[in-house]
Structure 1
Amino acid sequence: IFISCLQSTFSISQIVFNIQSFVKALGSATFVFDLIDRVYKIDAFDNDGKRTSYVIGDIEFSKCFVYISNSKRYSIFIARTLISNPKILLLDEAISALDTLDRANEGRTTTVIAHRLNAIRNTDSIIVIDNGEVIECGTRNKLMDKTSRYNEFVTAQ
């Protein structure tokens, strides 16, 4: 029902294991891969969810250590999370997944913690918190139309 996507590190083997587990549990590789494709193109698995290669998106992996940028890891992590179809999703600094958020948030409540304000430009509502207190709340247009802390933050960035 509720899943949080906080920034953390994880390995490709964890991603592979989780994708294979979801395919087995849900019985539909097509369903799983459709959700993943909403976030990040992945073509490394056959219809049984078995790894056929180490190719994810435009990255080819060997059996030795491979570096994946944190933004790509986070995008893959969000894709993995969306398979669970949570009703409520909490994302921490989801800058790397802006397009994902626009496409994947239909039918769910998503809370985005952001310091870079372009991450929340398409949200339904913005809550500005300063020193632990809510100081403003509204749509982006409403907060930009008046003298507000949010407007000051946007102008400064």
Structure 2
Amino acid sequence: MQQSEEVLFREARKEDVPAIVAMLADDHLGATREGDPGDERYLAAFERIDANPYDELIVAEQDGEVVGTMQLTYLAGLSRLGAERCQIEAVRVAATARGRGLGGRMIKWAVDRARERGCAMVQLTSDKSRTDAHRFYDNLGFTASHEGYKLSLS
């Protein structure tokens, strides 16, 4: 079955959570850190994200199926004259939809969304082991300008 080229970008709904979690788990890093999509912690996190006007959990839907996801978080700051930034996280494309340009369309949509909100910058991080993702973001015009650090608390 051939998928149409039409993609709908929309805010995620509660019933999308299992598909989103499946996409998060479908790579070498996610496979080690994600759990059962029915785990109540995912639904609690969804409710929190959904209630926050500075968070948007977005899905890409094609032919009625969720085939992509990303989270946009809008960050206030004093730097850059008090400019708001858009942080893009958890960008995933379903295995069945990879290789057809959907990821690029998702990022373009996110950048346009940030611009509409008046953000001065879009930023994202990518695990150092995701070299294909680094090439992807480089090709979209992103610059690896900072070194990131994380401290796991669990």
Task: Indicate whether the TM-score tops 0.5.
Answer: no
Bigger share in strand: 2
* Bigger CA radius of gyration: 1
- TM-score, normalisation: structure 2: 0.34
- Structure of higher RCO (CA pairs closer than 8 Å, 6+ residues apart): 1
